[in-house]
Structure 1
Amino acid sequence: MTTRTRRLLTVLAAPAAALLLWAAAAPLGGVDLTVDQAGTPLTVGPLLIAPAALLIGFAAWGLLAVLERFTARAAMIWSITAAAVLALSLTGPLAATTTGAMLVLMGMHAVTGGVLIAGLARR
């Protein structure tokens, strides 16, 4: 398998993993995934999850490709950057309206980031 194919599959696996967690928590588990967006309640569902995970996946891949072109330590720089972005993204779910929603949303961030970090940084 080529590096390009493996990375494309990784980017596609990230939203799939997040959607699996969403399916287990929201429709099956009954967790209401609502966040407070500047005073307006927003329900997080597949139409928000999949595009966001794909966008971040392709952006991550793009950054890694640029780093590989200009530095010999691209994987290390990218991994540190990706871990920092993941840590910062975990603050977003703090706006959830319930503790259950916050934990599930943090889990979706962690699963998405984990898939991308593990799959894209690998040689």
Structure 2
Amino acid sequence: MENTMPTATATATATTARPNRRRDRLLTVLAGAAATLLGWVVAVPLAGVELAARTGSATQRVTPVAVVLSTLLAGLAGWALLALLERVTGRARTAWTVVAMLVLVLSVLGPLGGGVGRAATATLVVLHLVAGAVLITGLRRTTAR
């Protein structure tokens, strides 16, 4: 009888931990999108930054929809990679963090070369850093230690 109690407790804990992990990851992705949207609101309507980026030979305005969708896509991609790494390696947290940091560094290069004007470039870099900070710290916290 003593042997079955810890097993039942461990099973119950594992069962309840999984939905919490999913919930926490979803909330992290949504928080990243909310944070970048807030950054866009502060920069564009409130501060008056003309937020635009060069895409090839054209110039494109950066809309709140684009900000939210790109952050959601980045967050979901990060979540998917983290889930995959958790299945294939015992060092998922470390591997994922290294990859996520490299992706963040590479993502910042886009605005540095594509922002239209100093204010737009600075704003886009800050939006990338905000998204990275929220997503990396939040998703990293959901991994097993």
In the alignment, structure 1 residue 11 sits paired with structure 2 residue 18:
no
In the alignment, structure 1 residue 30 sits paired with structure 2 residue 48:
yes
Task: Tell me the secondary structure at the aligned position of residue 35 of structure 1.
Answer: strand
4+ residue runs over 4 A deviation: none
Counterpart amino acid of 2:125?
A: M
Partner of residue 115, structure 2: 96
Task: Tell me the secondary structure at the aligned position of residue 131 of structure 2.
Answer: helix
The Cα offsets for residues 88-122 of structure 1, whole Å up to 9 and x where unpaired, read as: 00011121111010011000000001101000011
Give the structure with the higher percent helix. Answer: 2
Partner of residue 69, structure 1: 87
Partner of residue 80, structure 1: 98
- Indicate the structure (1 or 2) with the bigger Cα radius of gyration: 2
- Percentage of matched positions with identical amino acids: 45
Separation in 2 of the partners of 1:35 and 1:58? 24
The Cα offsets for residues 39-94 of structure 1, whole Å up to 9 and x where unpaired, read as: 11100011211111111101100000000011000000000000000000001112
Task: Tell me the secondary structure at the aligned position of residue 128 of structure 2.
Answer: helix
The answer for unaligned runs of 5 or more in structure 1 is none
The answer for unaligned runs of 5 or more in structure 2 is 1-16
Counterpart amino acid of 1:106?
A: V
Say which of 95, 114, 127 aligns to 1:108: 127
Separation in 1 of the partners of 2:26 and 2:92? 18
Aligned length: 123
Root-mean-square deviation (CA, aligned residues, Å) is 1.0
The Cα offsets for residues 7-52 of structure 1, whole Å up to 9 and x where unpaired, read as: 1000111111001000000010000011111111100011211111
TM-score, structure 2 normalization: 0.83
TM-score, structure 1 normalization: 0.97
Counterpart amino acid of 2:55?
A: Q
